[in-house]
Amino acid sequence: QVQLVESGGGLVQAGGSLRLSCAASGLTFGRYNMGWFRQALGKEHEFVAAITWTGGSTYYADSVKGRFTISRDNAKNTVYLQMNSLKPEDTAVYYCAASYYGRTYDRSGRNLDYWGQGTQVTVSS
């Protein structure tokens, strides 16, 4: 049974930082491209960042470029999202999602293989 478990969310003031983690089990983690999405209340889910199965390439939404960093540790079956200079508009539930390495990571989120349950990030002004 595949599980993706996010952690690290919480309440932070604008300008602060958080680091999210997503621990994977039940899959060969090193064979999956990984990414993060977010969904704010009343809005569609939004692509945030992705990293290839080797960690060699990373991709970001324009809204987070320069502030967020995605990374992975294949030995720990974990992907991370370091979030700096947080803004109130970053408030959302953040989800990690996995896509088998043979496919391009689908930034629409419609064709990904596995999702986590999400972790809430709230940025106060």
Instruction: State mean pLDDT over 29-40.
Output: 98
Tell whether the model's pLDDT for residue 47 goes beyond 90: yes
How far is residue 84's CA from residue 43's CA, in Å, rounded to a whole number?
Answer: 22
Q: Is 123 exposed, middle or buried (0-12, 13-18, 19+ CB in 10 A)?
A: buried
pLDDT digits (tens, 9 = 90+) for 2-27: 999 999 999 999 999 999 999 999 99
Burial 23-54 (b: 16+ CB within 10 A, else e): bbeebebeebbbbbbbeeeeeebbbbbbbbbe
Q: How far are the Cα atoms of 5, 30, 68 from residue 25, in angstroms, in the given order?
A: 9, 11, 24
Please tell me what DSSP assigns to residue 113: S
In this prediction, residue 103 carries a pLDDT of 84
Contact 71, 55 (CB under 8 A): yes
Q: Which among 110, 95, 75, 84 is positioned nearest to 22, based on CA atoms? A: 95
In this prediction, residue 1 carries a pLDDT of 95
pLDDT digits (tens, 9 = 90+) for 50-109: 999 999 999 999 999 999 999 999 999 999 999 999 999 999 999 999 999 988 899 999
